[in-house]
């Protein structure tokens, strides 16, 4: 889809670089990707700060921490019991792979991530792209919403991801930036109740144009 490149350029020119993923280490980024499932990022920031304060934001410390203690620390991220299990499984996989760098450098990184219970395609792709520098475009609910409104495109995860992979060059930095820009657009303008008037890409949006036409 040729228009995706144009969409990226227009969003980048409007918002500028987003400097994602906000994390001080690659393991912090991976933990954050699990914590952010079904919750606002501000809650994740609270949890990350707690883990840092306790000095347990590394794989070995995570595994040594009792489940009940870790659950209480990550409670603000909701589904804290399931996420505790997922984070511990990730930590174990990293240790078994001889460390974070070794784990992330695996050619089958995405497969290994998907084999960890509690990690689905979106989280696996986020970790692979932002922590592992692997070329997997991240598709989330924000991306789905924007594509449906702008172009009338509806599809499952793999279909939408393949569309991005076919339409864009295999550029890791662009994948990272584009995903971040789509999230920014969805949060600022393409909300549940869209704010189309000031949206920087409303001129190419099917939903916005239909709404304007119907109001004439």
Output the pLDDT for position 214: 52
Under-50 pLDDT residues of the chain = 216
**Whether 30 and 114 share a structural domain:** yes
**For residue 90, what are the CA distances in angstroms to 69, 101, 141, 199?**
17, 13, 24, 39
**Whether 116 and 56 share a structural domain:** yes
Phi, psi of 171 (to 5 degrees): -115, 110
Output the pLDDT for position 216: 46
Measure the CA–CA gap between 209 and 197, rounded to whole angstroms: 11
Residue 40 lies in a domain: yes
**Whether 12 and 36 share a structural domain:** no
Domain, as residue range, for 59: 26-131
pTM of the model: 0.93
Q: Are 83 and 35 in contact (CB under 8 A)?
A: yes
Q: Are 189 and 196 in contact (CB under 8 A)?
A: yes
| Among the listed residues 142, 140, 131, 118, the one whose alpha carbon sits nearest the alpha carbon of residue 35 | 118
Output the pLDDT for position 31: 98
Output the pLDDT for position 210: 87
Output the pLDDT for position 45: 96
Q: Are 18 and 91 in contact (CB under 8 A)?
A: no
Tally of structural domains, the chain: 2
Output the pLDDT for position 97: 97
**Whether 127 and 148 share a structural domain:** no
Q: Are 27 and 57 in contact (CB under 8 A)?
A: yes
């Amino acid at each position: 889809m040729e228009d995706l490149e144009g969409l990226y350029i227009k969003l980048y020119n409007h918002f500028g670089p987003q400097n994602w993923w906000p994390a001080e280490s690659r393991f912090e980024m991976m933990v954050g990707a699990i914590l952010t499932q079904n919750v606002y990022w501000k809650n994740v920031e609270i949890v990350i700060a707690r883990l840092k304060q306790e000095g347990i934001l590394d794989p070995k410390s995570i595994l040594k921490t009792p489940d009940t203690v870790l659950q209480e620390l990550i409670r603000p991220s909701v589904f804290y019991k399931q996420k505790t299990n997922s984070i511990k499984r990730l930590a174990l996989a990293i240790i078994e792979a001889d460390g974070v760098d070794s784990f992330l450098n695996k050619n089958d990184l995405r497969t290994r991530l998907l084999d960890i219970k509690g990690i689905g395609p979106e989280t696996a792709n986020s970790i692979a792209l932002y922590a592992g520098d692997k070329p997997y475009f991240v598709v989330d609910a924000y991306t789905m919403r924007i594509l449906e409104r702008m172009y009338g495109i509806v599809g499952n995860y793999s279909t939408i991801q393949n569309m991005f992979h076919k339409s864009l060059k295999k550029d890791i930095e662009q994948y990272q930036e584009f995903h971040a820009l789509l999230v920014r657009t969805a949060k600022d303008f393409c909300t549940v109740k869209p704010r189309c008037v000031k949206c920087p890409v409303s001129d190419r949006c099917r939903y916005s144009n239909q709404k304007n036409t119907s109001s004439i």
